[in-house]
Amino acid sequence: MTFKEVIEFKYITISEAKEIMEEIAKKRQEKSELLFETRRGLRHLRNFSKLPAEKASQLVEELENLPQVGRREIAVKIADIMPRIPDEIRTIFAKERFTITPEQIEEILEIVDKYR
């Protein structure tokens, strides 16, 4: 058995993952039938992707610039979920060491709404 080394690690949105998997699936289909795991993973990504990859990436960048978001992994979660109500935002921030204010939540929701 061979193991591959992780060269780079980066959080990506479901939409970005879908785009990457679509390319991989296209290349693999030219050679042979897709594996069950590949088909299932691709179906999952298609079902849960809520934005085109480019828009999801723009949303993540905009969210990262907010002081209350800051970290890429939080911005990616928000872009994947596309929350509509404050409680969904609170759930994302539940494990953080700070309390997010209603004003900060509203700012996040306004940005997310621009990308719907």
CB 58 within 8 A of CB 23: no
Which residue type sits at 76? V
Compute CA distances 95 → 24, 89, 100, whole Å: 34, 12, 11
> What single-letter DSSP state applies at residue 97?
S
Is a pLDDT exceeding 60 seen at residue 108? yes
What confidence score (pLDDT) does residue 1 get?
A: 57
Q: Is 70 left (phi over 0), alpha (psi -120 to 50) or beta?
A: left
Which residue type sits at 103? E
- At 42-71, the pLDDT tens digits run 999 999 999 999 999 999 999 999 999 989
For 53-114, CATH number?
Answer: 1.10.150.80
- At 64-106, the pLDDT tens digits run 999 999 899 999 999 999 999 999 999 999 998 888 999 999 9
The mean per-residue pLDDT over the stretch 3-8 comes to 81
Q: Domain residue spans in the chain? A: 14-48, 53-114
